[in-house]
Amino acid sequence: MKFTKKSHSCIVLEKDGRRLVVDPGMFSEEDAAAGADAILVTHEHPDHFDEARLRAALEARPDAEVWTLKSVADQLAAAFPGRVHTVGHGDTFTAAGFDVQVHGELHAVIHPDIPRITNVGYLIGGGVFHPGDALTVPDQPVDTLMLPVMAPWSKISEVIDYVREVKPRRAYDVHDALLTDLARPIYDRQIGALGGAEHLRLSPGASADL
């Protein structure tokens, strides 16, 4: 499959002429969800879910569908009957020709005083895992981990330990819009040296074959 990195936590996977988009949020490109056959959303935070962009994509592509958790589905389902599917931990489905498994239930802890919201991760095509805003470890092997490299809810030691626990063959940075160019070499060096997996980073718009 072809993997294209979009800004922040958004990725695009393409196979057999079909296009799957994950987490096109407010930090992603305006057209990040355009042309998608299927869209997966991990949770409701605006850097992962931009309602206006999803509505525009669904209106422009009448056969496009969305899979997401209830908090997001409730905002879209009435306007797009039969096209917005609610999923949770343990569910499996096929979207744009990709087999998808759902893992996880809660967003990572930002602060003990902030209530935790729901968050799901998606294991796509049997080997690509996007965890959203959580450090969920699937109960099966992961070939390619989309690694939330920097967030208000994490520190680099947790990111490194997460790579070690998941044990992917390779990890691509996502959730990186707040990571400055000054800090990137530090993250690259430490995660690459200590994570135990090939650590990779693509610029927004760049692609790789998985």
Residue spans per domain, the chain: 2-209
* Mean of all residue pLDDT scores within the chain: 97
Give 9's pLDDT tier (boundaries 50, 70, 90): very high
Contacts by 50-56, CB closer than 8 A, 24 or more apart: 50/24, 50/25, 50/26, 51/75, 51/76, 53/24, 53/28, 54/24, 55/79
pLDDT of res. 146: 98
pLDDT of res. 190: 97
This prediction's pTM: 0.97
Asked if residue 104 lies in contact with residue 136, where contact means CB atoms within 8 angstroms, the answer is yes
Give 46's pLDDT tier (boundaries 50, 70, 90): very high
Domain 2-209 has CATH 3.60.15.10: yes
Span 40-47, average pLDDT? 98
| Distance between CA atoms of residues 138 and 131, nearest Å | 9
pLDDT of res. 168: 98
pLDDT of res. 140: 94
pLDDT of res. 80: 97
| Distance between CA atoms of residues 38 and 19, nearest Å | 7
Give 8's pLDDT tier (boundaries 50, 70, 90): very high
